[in-house]
Structure 1
Amino acid sequence: MRSLLPIGLLVSTVVLLAGCTSSDSSAGVASPAPATPSPTRTTCASPIDFGPLPEWARAGFSGDSSMPHAMGDRGDIVAAIFGYPLAVSRPDGSSNKILWVSKVEAPPGDLVIEAKLDDSDVSVTRRVPGGPGPSIIDLPQHGCWHLNLSWPGHTDAMGLVYG
């Protein structure tokens, strides 16, 4: 009986340590992402708002300006998405039309879009001649694209998903 006590104590200690070890070792392991999308900016796409455009972006619109749009991370530019959802290919012949509207005044110059596909080495550059304005922005692969936007004296960024 005397020999059972140390073995029982040893087994209890191992079980307790195993419980602590598995709990502690999982602290460094990333949990899977939640199944429901978050309403705030994630590591991927900027939130798409379907309500009215910001007041400063409504020039040229009459009536209700509600449409899909994404705000730049700094709030200096908005992408009004006429071709929503954005897509790599469109069998119906429609396009990925985006109206870029700058909140801040800028001297004339192109809007340069440096786009990088999430979790890859794929990147492309697109230009909107004359600065923020109407454009067709086609990207080569589906997925989440991080866009670094620059126009004379200003920069902003956003993420857009192409299906």
Structure 2
Amino acid sequence: MTRSGCGSPVATGPLPEWARTGFSGDSSMPHVLGDRGDIVAAIFGYPLAVSRPDGPSNKILWVSKATAPPGDLVIDAKLDGTAVTETRHVSGGPGPSIVDLPRAGCWHLTLTWPEHTDTMDLTYQ
């Protein structure tokens, strides 16, 4: 999928109902829903940043809408308007991760885990 601009809005209200397992009380937090609606990125270190000398990490909890067979989540990221690409792996599939990317800007992500693929954009400052 080719895009221009950062097309995935960061919501700040409650997580989708299917993504609230393990949360108690209000599940409102910054999050991005995949374009197909199959995965959500719950962003604990918002805003995401290239450098965090004294702040929180770029912690993202990836939550899949459907149960998937065991296997890693593979994140293929492309920086908008460039040829810069990065790949990250989350062992064991969607779950907690630290996703650091090397440059500021809008990153187009293709997320692949067993039997599933979704896409989204994440902006790093």
Deviation at 1:94, TM superposition (A): 1.6
- 1:107 corresponding residue in structure 2: 69
Q: Return the alpha-carbon distance in structure 2 between the equivalents of residues 42 and 120 of structure 1.
A: 11
TM-score between the two structures when normalised by the length of structure 1: 0.73
Name the count of aligned residue pairs: 123
Moved more, 145-154 or 42-51: 42-51
Can you give the 5+ residue segments of structure 1 that lack an aligned partner in the other structure?
Answer: 1-40
Q: Comparing both structures, which one devotes a greater share of its residues to strand?
A: 2
Q: 3-state SS of the aligned residue for 1:121?
A: coil
Deviation at 1:157, TM superposition (A): 0.2
Can you give the 5+ residue segments of structure 2 that lack an aligned partner in the other structure?
Answer: none
Identity %: 76
Q: Return the alpha-carbon distance in structure 1 between the equivalents of residues 123 and 7 of structure 2.
A: 6
Does 1:148 find its partner at 2:78? no
| C-alpha contact (below 8 Å) 1:45/1:145 kept by paired residues | no
State the superposition RMSD in angstroms.
1.3
| Structure 1 runs of 4+ with >2 Å offset | none
Deviation at 1:91, TM superposition (A): 2.0
- 2:44 corresponding residue in structure 1: 82
Does 1:65 find its partner at 2:27? yes
TM-score between the two structures when normalised by the length of structure 2: 0.95
Q: Return the alpha-carbon distance in structure 1 between the equivalents of residues 35 and 5 of structure 2.
A: 12
Deviations 1:39-88 (A, max 9, x none): xx974241110000000000000000000000000000000000000000
Higher RCO (C-alpha under 8 Å, 6+ residues apart): 2
